[in-house]
Amino acid sequence: MASALLTPRIARAAAGDFPEKDITFIIPYSAGGGFDNYVRALSPVMERYLPHKVTIVPTNVAAGGGTRGTNQLYRAKPDGYTVAIFNIPGMFVLQKEGGAEFDLAKVTWLGSMGRDDYGIAVAANSALKSVADLKKLSATRPVKFTATGPEGTAYAATLIGAHLLGIKAQLITGYKGSNDYAVAAARGDGDAVVTALPLLRHLAEGDTLRIIATFEKASTVPGAEDATALGQPELSEIVLERLIGAPPGLPAEIKSALATALEEAMADSRVVAWAKQADIALQPQTPEGAAAILANQQKFYDKWKSLLNAG
C-alpha cells in the first residue's frame, strides 16, 4: 500500500516537476578525504544544471568502511532526492563480506567522476630505489606495505600488485584513510605504500615520499617504471573508479535529469579548474559507461577473489 501511495508523487516528479526539494548527496566516508573533496567540489556546480533550483547537500555517512552510507542510498526512495558516490572496487569487498544490503548490479548508475591510477612509493630517505629492490628485500622477508583494512581499494591494489610483481607482501593496516597510511609509510611504519597517484604526487612534491613505479601503461611520473616496463601490463587494470549512483528503480526521466546535470557539471570550467589544481584526471562517463565500468571491474576482481580472500 505504501509503495502505491508513493507512485503518483514519483510520477509527478518524472513528469517535469523534479526537483522540488534539496537533494542529498551521500559520501560514505568521513569528511576531509578524497571522496568527500570530490563531492563538495562537484555539488554546487551540478545543482546549477538541474531543471529547477534546489541545493545538493553533501552528507557524510561514515561507518563500516562505507557500508552504512551505501546501504542508506540503496534503501532510499527512488525519487531522485538521494544520490551517492561509490568507491569501486572497494564496494565489491563490502558486498561480499556480509552486512551489506545493497546489490551493485541493481543500482541506478548516473555517471562517473573519473578514475585514479595507482603507484608504489617509499619514504623519501629510503634505501629502496626500485621495484627490483623491493623484490630483493622480499627474498629475505615480506615487504611491509601500509594500508587501510580489506574494505579499502588500496588493500586489494596492494595484494594484486605485489602478487603480479612477485613481491611477498605483509600489509600493515588500521589507518583511517589514504593520507594516514601514506604518511605512515613515510615515517617508517612500512617499507612501501601502494595508493592513488594524485596523493603520491602530492606527498612526493613535499619530499615525504618517492614514487618508484606506477601501474599506468605509460608512466606520467619521470623516472618511475610503469606496467609496461615492469612486464606486467595487467597492473594497469588496477584503478580506483568513482561512480555516481541512485537507488534501484529510479524513473527514466529523473535519471536523465540527474545524469545530464552531472555530465554538464563535469564539463564546467569551475570543476575542470578544480580538477587541474588537485591533479585529478576527470573522465566523465554516461550512465551506460558507468555500468560498463562496474562490469569490467567486477570481472577483473573476481579473477583475484581467492588471493583477496586469503589476504
pLDDT tens readout for residues 28-64 = 988 877 889 899 999 999 999 999 999 999 999 987 7
Q: In which residue ranges of the chain is CATH 3.40.190.10 found?
A: 117-237
Amino acid at 61: V
Amino acid at 194: V
Alpha carbons 109 and 250: distance in angstroms, whole number? 10
Alpha carbons 87 and 148: distance in angstroms, whole number? 14
Residue 304 has pLDDT above 70, yes or no: yes
CB-based contact 56:114 (threshold 8 Å): no
pLDDT of residue 59: 96
Alpha carbons 215 and 236: distance in angstroms, whole number? 5
Residues 143-162, mean pLDDT to the nearest whole number:
89
- Secondary structure E strands in 141-265: 143-146, 169-172, 192-196, 209-214, 239-246
pLDDT of residue 9: 42
Burial class (CB in 10 A: 0-12, 13-18, 19+), 247: buried
Residue 6 has pLDDT above 50, yes or no: no
The Cα-based distances of 20 to 17, 24, 195, 225, 252 in angstroms read 6, 13, 40, 52, 17
Superfamily of domain 2-115+239-310: Bordetella uptake gene, domain 1 (3.40.190.150)
- Entry field: residues in the chain: 311
Cβ partners under 8 Å of residue 213, min gap 6? 119, 120, 130, 131, 219, 224, 225, 226, 230
As a dihedral over the C-alpha atoms of residue 71, residue 72, residue 73, residue 74, rounded to 10 degrees, the angle is 50
CB-based contact 43:35 (threshold 8 Å): no
Alpha carbons 311 and 306: distance in angstroms, whole number? 9
pLDDT of residue 97: 64
Helical segments of 210-286, H only = 252-267, 269-277
Q: In which residue ranges of the chain is CATH 3.40.190.150 found?
A: 2-115+239-310
The reply to whether CATH 3.40.50.1100 applies to domain 117-237 is: no
pLDDT of residue 2: 37
Helical segments of 124-196, H only = 131-138, 153-164, 178-187
- For cell 617499507, the residue is 191
CB-based contact 170:145 (threshold 8 Å): yes
- 75-84, 146-155, 207-216: least confident range: 146-155
